[in-house]
Amino acid sequence: MAQAKAANTYAKSTAREYFESICVAVILALFVRTFIVQAFKIPTGSMENNLLIGDHLLVNKFVFAPTLNTAERTLLPIDPIRRGDIIVFKYPEEPERDFIKRTIGLPGETIELRNKKVYINNKPLDEPYVHFLFPPDDPAQRPEDGTPDFDVRRQYGPVTVPAGQYFMMGDNRDNSQDSRYWGFLPREYVKGKALFVYFSFAEEPGGPLSAIRWNRLFHQIH
């Protein structure tokens, strides 16, 4: 009788341990999902050729987290938003949607586009990552009658980025809904920094395995 009771107690103890382990794992997963990393899928070609439609990314939500004091900023791995950072954020015109763009203009800077070339404080910006569907020197993209060019893909600004906001642009400059159209990004809309591609799937014929872009797995994002 004593042995049966002991075995029953052991079984309950083991079941409880499994239950507690599962609960802890779920809580940790929810914590990581909420505060540290988030998965994000590229839905459009606005960041080509750096990020492709079907790329699945991991986003670091902790790196830009707000800090309360200098001690927290010193001890925690928190970074300021820098030019060139690829960021996932709430779309200002529809905050329930997530966008991904590259940080171009920082608070206080003056941004201008001249024939598709970005100028920061009147100095040209080197952008090796930029992709154009139509080359800047393509005469077919300019007005033929000599009227001013109001195409924001070619000419924009100058504008000054307000405090606490950023000017965001897609790498695919001729096919990107970015700050040229909807304005500046408030700091509080930033969700995190794109880290790397953990999976990539192209919608191509030939079966699911042939559509996997094996060369993009664990591709670091720059």
Active site residue 46: yes
Q: What is the pLDDT of residues 30-49, one digit of tens each?
A: 444 445 788 999 999 999 99
Active site residue 191: no
**Domain extent for 24:** 1-36
For residue 134, what are the CA distances in angstroms to 101, 115, 129, 142, 167? 20, 11, 15, 11, 22
Residue 203 belongs to domain with CATH number: 2.10.109.10
90 and 111 assigned to the same domain: yes
48 and 130 assigned to the same domain: yes
pLDDT of 92: 95
76 and 137 assigned to the same domain: yes
pLDDT of 112: 98
Q: Which of 12, 13, 41, 46 is catalytic?
A: 46
- Are residues 84 and 103 in contact, defined by beta-carbon separation less than 8 angstroms? yes
134 and 182 assigned to the same domain: yes
- Whether the per-residue pLDDT at 114 is higher than 90: the answer is yes
70 vs 93, more confident: 93
27 and 108 assigned to the same domain: no
pLDDT of 211: 84
31 and 64 assigned to the same domain: no
The pTM (predicted TM-score) of the whole model is 0.78
16 and 93 assigned to the same domain: no
Does residue 158 have a cis peptide bond before it, meaning omega lies within 30 degrees of 0?
Answer: yes
- Whether the per-residue pLDDT at 9 is higher than 80: the answer is no
50 and 12 assigned to the same domain: no
| Number of domains comprising the chain | 2
101 and 189 assigned to the same domain: yes
Min mean pLDDT across 87-101, 131-145, 147-161, 178-192 is at 131-145
2 and 72 assigned to the same domain: no
18 and 57 assigned to the same domain: no
Q: Which of 61, 101, 116, 193 is catalytic?
A: 101
53 and 110 assigned to the same domain: yes
17 vs 99, more confident: 99
